[in-house]
Structure 1
Amino acid sequence: MKRIFVFLITGFEEIEALATVDILRRAGLNVQTVSLTGERTVSGSHGVTVAADMLFEEVPFGEADLLVVPGGTPAYDGHEGLKREVLAFYEKGGKVAAICASPMVFGGLGILRGRRATCYPGFEKYLEGATLCTDLPVVVDGHVVTGQGPGLTVEFALTLVELMAGRDKRGEIARQLLVG
C-alpha cells in the first residue's frame, strides 16, 4: 500500500497539515504524520496540539510514495534532516509536495529549478529557478506539487489524491466534501 508522510514542526499550519491528512485518509491512502521536533506532540501556529504518528528518526523513507511538507513556518527550511531526505527521495524520482511557505524548502534544494511552482505570497523569492505560477492555487510539474496556502488546502489535498489514487477517487472524495 502506498505510504505518505506528512511532516509536522512547531508552528506548522494546522489547516494545511490536518485537512491534507484527513482528505488523503478519506481516499483510503496510508498517511502518517511525522514529528520533526523530537517529541510526538507538536504545536501548530494557532495553538492546536497534535500527537504525531511517529518521530522523524522512525520514518522508513524507503517505503515512501509521497512526502508532504505543510506550511505555516519557515522552520521547515531549517531542518537539515528533512531537507536531506526530501532531496534524496526526489532524486530517486519520488513524489514531493509542499504548500504555503514550504515550497521554499524545495527552492533551496534546487528541486524547483526549471519547474512551474506556486507558494504563499511573499515567498516567491525562495523558489529558486522556478517559473512562478502564483495565480494558480496548486501546480503539478512532474512529480512535484506546490500549493498556495491555507484556504486552498482542499484543492491541494484533492490534487494529491488524484496523483496517488486517480481521477475517479478524487471525484469521489470531492463529492463527499461537497466541493465537486
Structure 2
Amino acid sequence: MAKVYVFLADGFEDVEALIPVDVLRRGGVDVITVSTTEFPLVESAHGVNIEADIQFEQGDYSDADLLMLPGGMPGASNLFAHEGVRQALKAHFEAGKKISAICAAPAVVLAPLGILDGRKATCYPGFESELKNAQYTGDLVTVDGNIITAEGPAAAFPYAYELLTQLVNKETSDQIAEGMRFKHLMV
C-alpha cells in the first residue's frame, strides 16, 4: 500500500488538502495528515480547524511514497518557514521519490528549494514568476517525472486523480472518479 504524508500549516487551502486526502483514501492509499504547528489542530485559510493525524516530530518521512503540499496563503509560506518540512522535502527529492504541490506551494516552497529546476511545473496564476528555473505550463496539473504540480482549488480533483494514478493505477483512479461522479463533468 502506498503511503502519503500531507503537510498542513496554518493557512492551508481547504480543498487542496482535503480533496486529495479523500480521493487517495478511497483508492486505498495510506494518507497521514501532518501538523507543522505546535498543536494537532491546524487552521485552514478559511477558518476550518482540522485535527492532523500526527504532529511533524512524530513522522518518519523516509517511508513515504509521496510528500504532498497543499497551497493557500499564508499556508505555503508557513510550510516553507518550517525547517523540518524543507529538510524532509530535500531528502525525499534526493532519493528520487515523488513530491506534489498545488496552488502557491510549487512556487513558494518547491522552487526556492531547487526541486523544480529544469522541470515543467504549474502553480496558481500570479506566482509563475517565482518558478525562475522551471518551465511554467499553466496547465491544471503537470507531471514531470517524480514531481506533480497543480494550479489551484479548481484543480484539486484532477490533481487528486492524477496522484491516485501515480500511486496505484489509472483503472483505480478512473473507478474512483466515476464513483464520485467526476467523470460526467468532463463530457
TM-score bracket, normalised by the shorter chain, equals over 0.9
Moved over 4 A (4+): none
Please show how residues 7-46 of structure 1 align to structure 2 within 5 Å.
7-46=7-46
CA contact (8 A) 1:35 1:41 kept: yes
> RMSD of the TM alignment (CA)?
0.8
What one-letter code is carried by the residue in structure 1 that aligns with 2:78?
A
1:153 — aligned with what?
Answer: 156
1:51-90 alpha-carbon deviations (Å, 9 max, x no partner): 0000111111121110000000222221221011101111
Please show how residues 94-133 of structure 1 align to structure 2 within 5 Å.
94-104=97-107, 105-133=109-137
TM-score, L = length of structure 2: 0.93
> Aligned to 2:62, what secondary structure does the other structure show?
helix
Q: Matched residue pairs, number? A: 179
Matched, 1:143 2:150: no
CA contact (8 A) 1:114 1:129 kept: yes
1:32-58 alpha-carbon deviations (Å, 9 max, x no partner): 100000210011000110000001111
TM-score, L = length of structure 1: 0.97
What one-letter code is carried by the residue in structure 1 that aligns with 2:155?
L
Provide the C-alpha distance between the structure 2 equivalents of 1:128 and 1:108, rounded to a whole number of angstroms.
9
Provide the C-alpha distance between the structure 2 equivalents of 1:127 and 1:83, rounded to a whole number of angstroms.
17
Cα deviation, residue 11, structure 1: 0.5
Uncovered stretches (5+) of structure 2, i.e. residues with no partner = none
Q: Which moved more, 1:153-162 or 1:71-80?
A: 71-80
1:74-131 alpha-carbon deviations (Å, 9 max, x no partner): 2222122101110111110110000000002110011111110000011112213101
Uncovered stretches (5+) of structure 1, i.e. residues with no partner = none
1:179 — aligned with what?
Answer: 182
Provide the C-alpha distance between the structure 2 equivalents of 1:65 and 1:97, rounded to a whole number of angstroms.
11
